[in-house]
Amino acid sequence: MQITFTPSLNHNSHLDLSYPKEFSSAQHIQQRDSSTAAEWGNMNVKELWFEGACMLSSKFDVNSPSSMKLQCDSFCWVMNFVLEGKLTSLSNNEHMELILQKGQYHTFYCSALDMDLVVDRPTDVFTICLTRRFIRKLLGKDILPENFESGADEPFTLVAADVYRDGRFKALIKEMLQAGQPDYIRRIFLESRILELLSLQLERLENKQQLPVNFSKEDVSRLEDARTLVEQNLQTPCSLIELARKTGLNDFKLKKGFKELFGHTVFGYLFELRMDSAYQLLKEGKSVGEVSEIVGYKNAHHFTSAFKKKYDLLPSQIGKILTFILTGYTFSTFSDCFF
């Protein structure tokens, strides 16, 4: 597999990334750091791959609006997450424009990739590229289109596009970027996170296709706005009345629609977000008191009770477990980790 970035203004500064077929490797994980520089700025790509999957952390440090051609000579199932900045993708085959801002993602697949990327500010993008075999094995022929299963050419197909600003999406991406286990463990860890990211996207897609009874597409859009407001306000969450007013939904549609579309009540969803965030913060070494405040609990005892209900562990035990793991294995320093 070959991926090529070619800046429009300076073809001499192109970046070629070559990979073995199916991202195969004799090692558990393969890593590489590639970069190019020109008058338009710098581009750095940190790569990690193993059988069936490749992860790229791309930094575009541009000093003026810049465009570059992205080409891949074989099948790609691509998930792009914009961490900072803005990325505009133009498919030359399908004449399709996709714009991603910070906190947004899209997923697509095609037989071969011919796309122009436009970056007008410093931008960081996290990309996961999966092989046809990986996706076929995961989803099976009953879900995938007939031409996909047969190995025939597929046009550019947009699978999903949405926001991920907070919640489990953001936690998963952070876990993948900071993973520091020995390679044989890290590969299993990363593959499990890739599968969860994909399942979350497909679950959102399924929910959108199955509208709650008596709910219009506009209602669903407003419910998604409500979800975003919940995600953005962990410390000072909106009341149901405030949430209904801000989204233009009545009380019935907010409560019933949120539960049917996202699988949780509004406050059940808030609880899950808070616990996910708390777990990650505790793993990073923050104290129980700090975490309690960050995720919106005024009383640390109430936070401890809620955390134990969710994980059947006390918050103070998370740091001890992490210390045990770190001292139980021989790790390279975190500065030697993938990203």
Give the least confident one: 2-6, 277-281, 286-290: 2-6
4-29 mean pLDDT: 77
Tell me: the pLDDT tens digits for 47-106?
Answer: 999 999 999 999 999 887 788 888 888 888 899 999 999 999 887 666 678 889 888 899
At residue 215, the pLDDT reads 78
Q: What is the 3-state secondary structure (H, E, C) of 138-202?
A: HHCCCCCCHHHHHCCCCCCEEEEEEECCCCHHHHHHHHHHHCCCCHHHHHHHHHHHHHHHHHHHH
First to last CA, the chain: 22
Q: How far is CA 169 from CA 9, 50, 332, in A?
A: 35, 22, 27
Q: Which amino acid is at 182?
A: P
At residue 8, the pLDDT reads 65
At residue 242, the pLDDT reads 93
The Cα 16–Cα 73 span in angstroms is 12
* Reduced DSSP (H G I as helix, E B as strand, rest coil) percent helix, strand, coil of the chain, to 5: 45, 30, 30
Of residues 251 and 318, the one with the higher pLDDT is 251
DSSP alpha helix (H) spans, the chain: 132-139, 146-150, 168-178, 183-209, 217-232, 240-247, 251-262, 266-283, 288-294, 300-311, 315-328
User: Looking at the predicted structure, is the pLDDT value of residue 316 above 60?
Assistant: yes
Q: How far is CA 109 from CA 79, 132, 194, in A?
A: 9, 9, 16
Tell me: the pLDDT tens digits for 95-142?
Answer: 678 889 888 899 988 888 888 888 888 999 999 999 888 888 887 666
Give the pair of three-digit tokens for residue 324.
Answer: 């045990």
Task: Calculate ∠ Cα 59-63-64, nearest 5°.
Answer: 110
Percentage of the chain surpassing pLDDT 70? Answer: 83
Average pLDDT, the chain: 82
User: Looking at the predicted structure, is the pLDDT value of residue 265 above 80?
Assistant: yes
The Cα 161–Cα 55 span in angstroms is 19
Domains, the chain, ordered by start: 2-164 (2.60.120.10)
At residue 38, the pLDDT reads 72
CB 3 within 8 A of CB 72: yes
Residue 311's Cβ-side half-sphere holds a number of Cα atoms within 13 Å equal to: 19
Of residues 24 and 208, the one with the higher pLDDT is 24
| Residues whose CB is less than 8 angstroms from the CB of residue 164 and which lie 6 or more positions away in sequence, other chains included | 81, 103, 104, 105, 170, 173
